[in-house]
Structure 1
């Protein structure tokens, strides 16, 4: 990463009241270079420029830290991590988090695993899989303190996929674009159905770019009924209380 990219990262994180250490900057720089190198060989992300990677991957991922919901020694699962976002930036900025990045695409998880090893992020343990399957697996069901997700699915879909993985008292922290009241209402109804409650829906802007974002926080208030999550693909095709526009 160039000095200009490093300053862009400092400015973007600074807008979130995060002051990165020299080690953080070094790790993000290494992550940038690894991503660019691997992306030239296999398609991991549509973002190609340093400017976009820094702001739309690194800083955007750090926005999940808004509100202090990811502080402390927590077991976290990142659904639909892609090339490791938000998992890898979160692990860099808070090494107390034990993070399981999940994606169904092997080449992406292979990259996340390699990047975590090269960055000495031993608390990151990537996994190939789908949320519907993991949510029914006793190894994962009800085992996590937090689920994080970034621009993965409509809120009612995400709620059905995420809440089975949470322990009672755990939180889904979902970073999305602008969200309409109809989707939010469907998300509230879906949360009530699968054992939770939407406790925050905060609109904000991506630092330095001004792109519309929302941080949605859903609390797991009771055990998820055994019927959820439904079988693979069904939550996306037939979302609870929601007809995709």
Structure 2
């Protein structure tokens, strides 16, 4: 990581109230190298520029710490982790969290696993699979304190796929871009259908880059009905209460 990249990372984290020590900066620098080198061999991320990776992957991942919704120790599922975001940055700054990055694409999960081992992130345990299947497995269903998602799907889809993983009292912390009133309404209704209740909608700007972001927090207030999540592919094809084109 160049001095300019390190400065961006420190400034972006500081805007979120985070102080990164030298060891953490070193881990981010190693992650940058692993990500850029591996991306030349497989499609991990469309971002190639250091500034974009630092701000739109590393700092953006840390924005789910806004508001203290991930405070305390706990078991956290990163649903649709892709190349490991937000799970890997969270693991670097929050070693107290037990993180499970999950994705349906095996090659991406294998990268996340290699990166976690290379960085000695012992609090990361990746899983390959689809939410429609894993969300019904003993040991996975209603087993997590928090679920985090980053630009994965429309809010009604996220609610159906994520809430089955949460224990009652757990939180879905969804990182979104701009959020329309229609998507928010459908997401709120879908959350209620699967045992959730909207707690917070917080629009903000990504530090330094100033891109529009929204943090949506949904609390699991009741056990998810057995019929959810629906079978593979249905939540995406026919989202609850959502008819967006």
What TM-score results when the alignment is normalised by the length of structure 1?
Answer: 0.99
Partner of 2:8: 8
For 1:156 and 1:53, the matched residues in 2 are separated by 28
1:42 deviates by: 1.1
Partner of 1:102: 102
Partner of 2:211: 211
1:114 deviates by: 0.4
Partner of 2:123: 123
What TM-score results when the alignment is normalised by the length of structure 2?
Answer: 0.99
State the SS of the aligned residue for 1:179. Answer: coil
Structure 1 segments (4+ residues) deviating >6 Å: none
State the SS of the aligned residue for 1:198. Answer: strand
For 1:30 and 1:117, the matched residues in 2 are separated by 12
Partner of 1:52: 52
What is the 5 A alignment of 1:1-245?
A: 1-245=1-245
For 1:53 and 1:118, the matched residues in 2 are separated by 19
Gaps of 5+ in 2: none
* Two-structure CA RMSD over aligned residues (Å): 0.6
For 1:35 and 1:22, the matched residues in 2 are separated by 20
For 1:241 and 1:83, the matched residues in 2 are separated by 30
For 1:52 and 1:27, the matched residues in 2 are separated by 18
1:210 deviates by: 0.9
Q: 1:85-133 CA distances to partner (integer Å, 9 max, x unpaired)? A: 0000001010000000001111111110000001110110001001110
State the SS of the aligned residue for 1:191. Answer: helix
1:212 deviates by: 0.4
State the SS of the aligned residue for 1:113. Answer: helix
1:72 deviates by: 1.6
1:244 deviates by: 1.7
State the SS of the aligned residue for 2:138. Answer: coil
For 1:223 and 1:32, the matched residues in 2 are separated by 40
For 2:151 and 2:134, the matched residues in 1 are separated by 20
For 1:236 and 1:244, the matched residues in 2 are separated by 11
